[in-house]
Structure 1
Amino acid sequence: MLFVRPGRLADLDALEHMARTAQPVLHSLPHDRRALEARVALSEDSFRTDADFPGEEFYLFVLEDGVTGKLHGTASIVAAAGYSEPFYVFRNDALIHASRELHVNRKIHALTMSHELTGKSRLAGFYIEPELRGAAVAHLLSRARMMYVAANRKRFTPEVFSLLLGVTDDAGVSPFWEAVGRKFFGRNFADIEVQSGGRSSTFIAEVMPSYPIYVPLLPESAQRVLGEPDEQALLAYEIHLEEGFETDRYVDIFDAGPVLTAQVDRSVCVRRSETRTVRAASDAAHVGAARGAAYMVASNRPGEFRCVLADLPRERGAGVPLSAAARTALNVRDGDAVRCVMLHREPDLDDSHASSEDAQ
């Protein structure tokens, strides 16, 4: 059984392999082994600490095969993006240029460098092996982060965001970078991508323009990709939308990829989840026809967060009959409380449930 758990230093070799082979580049996983080791150690400390508010914490999760022990993916949360240095993006603005004498009044699309997302919690570093990208476990790995946020609200800000890879060609060339970034840095996109460390490096403010960039002056190829996810990011894009994220007025400062934001209170893992009780193993045989929906099921012992997929009865408040493998993965016993949320929302059930909640 595949399950999500916090990463640890014992995973360093596997994480280093992912960091060096993952495409797109994972900002949360440095290529340098010493830097990566420090990153994983920070994650271990973050899970252990009793944080009362978001700060320098960094939470690294891995997708593990409970039988073989092999890792198949990773994802992370930055408690406060740009905690030590501002987090930079471009903000989509509309600038008015008008002249009474010429009877001209034009609204011009412009991009302005912004650090308004600084301090907000960020989902980052999502990577899953290519052969599993179409499987339900891809949703599990990505959205388990929001299950953790739902169970640990004080560790994160009320709004979270995620920055997705913008459009690049088969050679890794970004049309937007070629039109903007290269003009200022004079270097390849991939080189700066690795050095930026997640859009919080001082050199971004030092080199990138502080004045607005007028979009109509950019090449058509660059204009077309504004806010568009790369083909490799479509899976993450769809998963975020299902969780309740929405596109915002920001785009990535390097490749113009989309920035998605969500109010934690409105996210699926908060609004639709409920606490249920693990049932005796023998009860699993009685699920039968009542089974019918895949759920994410999470345990949240201090420092021991786990999350798996399981088929559960749709009835709210029903017990949680889990297989032996799932119980082992979650490290739970009969009578333990777990957080459950349906993996894929059903429109009819979702709408009726939303109406009842909004009426309260």
Structure 2
Amino acid sequence: MYLLRPCQTNDLAALLALSELTGAGMTSMPCDLEHWKQKIDVSQQSFSATPARSGSYFMVLEDHATGEIVGTTAIYTGLALTHPFYAFRVSEQQRTHDALNICRSSQVLERVSEYTGATEIGSLFLAPDHRLPGLGQLLSRARFLLMADAPERFGDRIFAELRGWQNAQGQSPLWESLGQRFMGITFDQAVAYTAEAGLAFAEELLPDYPICIDLLAEEAQAVIGRPHDSSAPALAMLKREGFQWQGLIDLFDGGPHVESSLGHIQTVKHSTVSSVDIVPSDDDLPLNHQPTLISNTDVLNFRVTLAPAAALPNGQLVITQATADALLVTSHQGAVVRCVPLNRQQNHQQKTAIKAA
């Protein structure tokens, strides 16, 4: 069984180890001890009874049998309330000249400050040795179960920033054609500085006028809005949840930003709160049991797992004692869970090799 829970101080070494596996471009998970100490502190405060307006809910995926930390996922709230958040908007400009009977349109990139007060989902990573069916969905959709459990903690505008495409050498064509020319530093240096200081420096170094896309190298034009190969499964899952691209891309690598309102996210809409009926083992489950994503609805002690469960006509959810123990759910009267069947989105042919910035 795999269990998703809030990160803790004793996860520090495991998080550092996972950072080394993510590769370049995942700004939210730099391999830096002080960064992780601060991130854990902020997350613990966010999961408290009195969260700050701007914070993060950082969660780890634990192999419940061994205690090994094998994945991460997070929600970031109150964006741009304390630090600006910039992106490029892809838009179209039209120029005309009546005397010459010319009307030309061209696409441009405009640096914009977006998402003030919005909620971002990100930091989704699954260790290569644990990329098993269903775990990508667990990491991605557990965030929406938390939002459904406590919608007052999150903004209505939810977005995800996916890693942009890179070549086999780990180079970003958009960075080489655009960012490098204005900033004069490498892609890795820009990513590292962003992780430490945020995006405020982009206001000083990137132009505030529209940049004509046709003037960029063809390789750079081709990757605008294109996700990294490893982010393609994550993008497919988000699209099935109702997320759409609205023309915004990452400043550095051109990865797409996709967004949805909280109430339109499919997992939020279709998850249900049920009382529980706890049985001893899998053998005691009704025949109609199926893989189900289940949260304990307790934000202060939040837990989510993927386990076999069966919905009864009376609205109860039948789970095993092992599942109940992992979720910290007891059989006392009034105990409830939030659940949604995995197969609402499951594609059995798709591997869940997930990396998303």
Per the normalisation by structure 2, the TM-score is 0.91
Alignment-derived partner of residue 326 in structure 1:
323
Partner of 1:277: 275
Change (3 A) 1:316 1:268: farther
Q: State the secondary structure of the residue aligned to 2:340.
A: strand
Query: C-alpha separation between the residues in 1 aligned to 2:110 and 2:160?
Result: 19
Q: Is 1:338 matched with 2:337?
A: yes
Deviations 1:98-133 (A, max 9, x none): 111111112211110011223210012111111333
Identity of aligned residues (%): 28
Work out whether residues 293 and 342 of structure 2, in 8 Å CA contact, stay in contact via their aligned partners in 1: yes
1:299 corresponds in structure 2 to: 296
Structure 2 residue aligned with 1:97: 95
Q: Any idea what the Cα deviations from partners look like across 1:143-187, whole Å, max 9, x if unmatched?
A: 111111111111111110000011101211011111100101122
**Coordinate RMSD, CA, aligned:** 2.0
CA contact (8 A) 2:280 2:320 kept: no
Shift of the alpha carbon at 1:139? 1.0
Counterpart for residue 17 of structure 2: 17
Q: Which residue of 2 aligns with 1:232?
A: 230
| Residue deviations 1:289-314 (CA, integer Å, cap 9, x gap) | 322x3221001224111001122336
Instruction: Give the conservation status (yes or no) of the 8 Å contact 2:6–2:302.
Output: yes
Deviations 1:217-250 (A, max 9, x none): 1111111111111101112112212222112210
Paired position in structure 2 for 1:126? 124
Looking at structure 1, the residues matched to 133 and 156 of structure 2 have their Cα atoms a distance apart, in angstroms, of: 30
Deviation at 1:199, TM superposition (A): 8.9
Give the whole-Å Cα distance in 2 for the aligned partners of 1:73 and 1:263.
26
Deviation at 1:55, TM superposition (A): 1.7
Identify which range, 128-137 or 61-70, moves more after superposition. Answer: 128-137
Distance 1:198 1:125, change over 3 A: farther
Structure 2 stretches lacking a partner, 5+ long: 347-357
- The secondary structure found in structure 2 opposite 1:229 is coil
Count of residue pairs the alignment pairs up:
344
Q: What does residue 268 of structure 1 align with?
A: 266
Which stretch of structure 1 is more off in the superposition, 279-288 or 78-87?
279-288
| Displacement of 1:327 | 1.1
- The TM-score with structure 1 as length reference comes to 0.90
Tell me the CA shift for residue 35 of structure 1.
2.3
Q: Judging changes above 3 Å, is the alpha-carbon distance between structure 1 residues 199 and 92 closer, same or farther for their aligned structure 2 residues?
A: farther
Task: Work out the CA distance in 2 between the residues paired with 1:23 and 1:120.
Answer: 27
Structure 1 residue ranges, 4+ long, deviating more than 6 angstroms after superposition:
none
Matched residue SS, 1:265: helix
> How much has 1:24 moved relative to structure 2?
4.5
SS in 1 for 2:35: helix
Which structure has more relative contact order (CA 8 Å, sep 6+)? It is: 2
Equivalent residues of 2:92, 2:106 under 8 A apart: yes
Determine the structure 1 residue equivalent to 2:154: 156
**Cross-structure match for 1:190:** 188
- Equivalent position of 1:86 in the other structure: 84
Unmatched tracts of structure 1, length 5 or more: 348-360
Q: CA separation of 1:329/1:283 partners in 2, compared to 1, >3 Å: closer, same or farther?
A: closer
Partner of 1:223: 221
Partners of 2:150 and 2:299 within 8 A in 1: no
1:3 aligned partner: 3
Q: Is the 8 A contact 2:162 2:231 kept in 1?
A: yes
How far apart, in 2, do the equivalents of 1:332 and 1:314 lie? 17
> Using a 3 Å threshold, how does the CA distance of structure 1 residues 202 and 317 change in structure 2: closer, same or farther?
farther
Q: 1:201 to 1:16 in 2, by over 3 A?
A: same
Distance 1:23 1:236 in 2: 17
